[in-house]
Amino acid sequence: MLNIVVCVSGGGTNLQAIIDGISAGTIRNTRIVGVISNNAGAYALKRAEQNDIPGFCISPKNYESRADFNQALMDKLAQLNPDLIVLAGFLVILPQQMIATYRDKIINIHPSLIPSFCGTGYYGLKVHEEALKRGVKVTGATVHYVDEGTDTGKIIFQKAVEVLEGDTPEVLQKRVMEQAEWIILPKAIDEIAMKEN
């Protein structure tokens, strides 16, 4: 059984796709042992609660220094002891120590076809705003392992999504989620879980 911790900051639709995948059996051999949010108001924490998954808020606002926040995050992870950490819209710069401790055990979903529209400053709606500004006709999403760089780790899956005439960032974000993110993130977890056996 692959024990996963899902780290979130916002709405948690990717978390929901994981929860749904586990109940539908499309994600096999996997259990969510905890959800960690850096934001107390994240709807993702509600989703955890509704599904009887332990949810934790670890916010930089509650710590005197970044080092204290990083330590609290590391302590919580150590307690939960995951086989895999899934960053599902977690908008926090990871402590170096976390990347080193969980090498090849952290994956992230990014809402573009890496290496386009990724790296520092490219997150959430901003990614889609930039894609529309550039006028690309195809965008998509990428699941990748996390290393020391920003969105530089080994790519696991990518899925392309068409940009349509008249798209707003919000409309494009929703299409990328529906047609790519909610499909490839569960698929990556299932693949990793099946390799564990």
- Which positions lie near ligand GAR, rule CB under 6 A? 8, 10-14, 44, 88-89, 109-111, 123-124, 127, 177, 181
CA distance 92 to 10: 12
Smallest separation (angstroms) from ligand GAR to the CB of 197: 27
How far apart, in Å, are the Cα atoms of 89 and each of 6, 7, 68, 136?
A: 9, 7, 22, 23
Give the CA angle between residues 79, 77, 89 to the nearest 5°.
Answer: 145
CA distance 44 to 167: 26
DSSP string, 65-121: SHHHHHHHHHHHHHHH--SEEEESS--SPPPHHHHHHTTT-EEEEESS-TTSS-STT
CA distance 162 to 152: 24
Active site residue 144: no
Could you say which of 55, 73, 98, 110 is catalytic? 110
Q: Please name which of 35, 62, 58 lies closest in space to residue 48, comparing C-alpha atoms.
A: 35
Smallest separation (angstroms) from ligand GAR to the CB of 118: 7
Position closest to ligand GAR via CB:
89
Smallest separation (angstroms) from ligand GAR to the CB of 114: 10
Q: Are 35 and 63 in contact (CB under 8 A)?
A: no
Q: Catalytic positions, please?
A: 110
